[in-house]
Amino acid sequence: MRLAVVAFFLFGLAAVGAQAQTRLVVPYTPGAANDTLARLLAQRLSAASGQTFLVENRPGAGGHLGAELVARAEPDGRTLLVSTNGLIAIGPHLYRRLPYDPQKDLAPIVRFANVPYALGASPALPAKSVGELLALARKQPESVYYASSGNGSVPHLCGELINLNGQVKMVHVPYKGGAQAMGDVVSGTVQLYCGSIPSLLGFAQSGKIRILGVTSAQRSPLLPDVPTFQEQGLAGVAVDSWVGLHAPAATPRPIIDRIAAEVAKVMASDEVSQAFLAQGAEPEAIGPQDFAKATREETVRWAPVVKASGATLD
């Protein structure tokens, strides 16, 4: 049975080959950054493979409704999850209980994009660098407020990482979404927001916020003049938001390897790379083994951060 499934996926059947469809389940609302990247990938995969890759949005429960749907799907390579570190590496520490195990019930296929983060500040904040921010936060404990898109979100945990590694106590202010949080940073109601570079770029270019540092290991081509946290003397604040594909855990390895190879081929295209970079995402093609290893390491790394944040969700 398993060999037949593999053969069907890899070589197709004459009667239905042209009709083959693969669902890319995006567990978030249409228009989200992950949704945009998934649609770019689906378009290129459809054109390159001759099969149809369709994006299907299944939002809810912080993305876990869509993830559970894929975890319970037939392991035939036809239903895949557009996954994120929030779902796979952070979610297990954040939720009191999940109806599936992201590590055991889903199999990593390929990580195809990485979206770097940066720390944006209200112009009213006197600090103009990470060093000045830490000095201010140490001199006046609990006087600096940072916004997030909700408890347990990546922006929340980014702020907690700064607290832990900088040995300061900034105050977390959760919002119901990034747009509302950014609105209050711009107005000066709160001073900081750690978000994806694309979400901050327009505000920075118009002078509505100041970007103090980027959280990636290297400077971003979108912000070449902004130093990293590491460059400014604060190690350990590595925050990004990757996007990948996961399959049901029982999916045969030949299917996983074939999908990973197809994605790698697409991501090697200059046209696709430029399309991703235009969205503020760094194109990648990290295969199953390396993807699995990196995810395990990241899951371990986020555990103490989530614990220190005190965030829990049902």
Residue 34 lies in a domain: yes
pLDDT at 103 over 70: yes
Domain boundary among 214, 229, 254: 214
Residue 222 lies in a domain: no
Q: Which two tokens stand for residue 92?
A: 């297990």
Residue 227 lies in a domain: no
- pLDDT at residue 192 in the model: 98
Considering the domain architecture, whether residues 197 and 129 belong to the same structural domain is answered as yes
Read off the pLDDT of residues 39-66 as tens digits, 9 standing for 90 and up.
999 999 999 988 999 999 999 988 999 9
Considering the domain architecture, whether residues 91 and 125 belong to the same structural domain is answered as no
The Cα–Cα gap between 117 and 273 comes to 19
Considering the domain architecture, whether residues 110 and 123 belong to the same structural domain is answered as no
- Mean pLDDT value of segment 281-292: 96
Residue 229 lies in a domain: no
pLDDT at 20 over 90: no
Q: What is the dihedral of CA 194, 198, 200, 206, to 10 degrees?
A: 170
- Mean pLDDT value of segment 194-216: 94
- pLDDT at residue 18 in the model: 44
Residue 225 lies in a domain: no
pLDDT at 208 over 70: yes
Considering the domain architecture, whether residues 263 and 209 belong to the same structural domain is answered as no
- pLDDT at residue 260 in the model: 97
Residue 173 lies in a domain: yes
The Cα–Cα gap between 276 and 170 comes to 34
- pLDDT at residue 10 in the model: 47
Considering the domain architecture, whether residues 111 and 7 belong to the same structural domain is answered as yes
- pLDDT at residue 79 in the model: 98
- For residue 197, the enclosing domain spans 117-214
Domain boundary among 197, 214, 231: 214
- pLDDT at residue 279 in the model: 87
Considering the domain architecture, whether residues 155 and 296 belong to the same structural domain is answered as no
The Cα–Cα gap between 79 and 252 comes to 13
Residue 226 lies in a domain: no
Number of domains in the chain: 2
pLDDT at 219 over 70: yes
- pLDDT at residue 101 in the model: 94
- pLDDT at residue 14 in the model: 36
Read off the pLDDT of residues 240-274 as tens digits, 9 standing for 90 and up.
999 999 999 999 999 999 999 999 999 999 999 99
pLDDT at 195 over 80: yes
Q: Which two tokens stand for residue 202?
A: 């327009």
Confidence at 8, pLDDT banded by 50, 70, 90? very low
Residue type, 88: I
- Mean pLDDT value of segment 117-139: 96
Instruction: Using alpha carbons, list the distances in angstroms from residue 307 to 48, 144, 150, 194.
Output: 44, 21, 16, 19
- Mean pLDDT value of segment 297-303: 94
